[in-house]
Amino acid sequence: MFFMSTFHLHSTVREQIDKYRKHYLWRGAEENNRINAKAAWPMVTKSKEEGGLGVLDLKTQNEALLLKTFTNFSTEQTSPGCILFGRNIIVMVGSLIMSRKGHSGGKMS
């Protein structure tokens, strides 16, 4: 969680973590257990209200944690974390926001 609230996870890292989560969800602790998935992963990551299992999507969670960290740094200018990492976090999250704007009218998509 700390890493996800500080750094943007690369897509290959997210895919590998999701691979482990899928295996654990469907196979359990047994590595050699070859049980097929009972539902598609995008459905599993939907909220329970939408008919999914409520497993958090790592990309969305990573971006939310980065924005939370950004908000904390931008409101608490004198905190030790802001002094050490503030500029890097602000630049990284700012570029994330700009890359996600696209055609959504300035809103995160």
Question: Does residue 60 surpass a pLDDT of 70?
Answer: yes
Quote the pTM value.
Answer: 0.60
Q: Is 41:19 a contact under the CB 8 Å cutoff?
A: no
Mean per-residue pLDDT, 42-56: 89
Torsion of CA 108, 96, 63, 81, to 10 degrees: -130
Average pLDDT over residues 27-39: 69
17/87 Cα distance (integer angstroms):
28
**Residue 57 in contact with residue 45, Cβ under 8 Å?**
yes
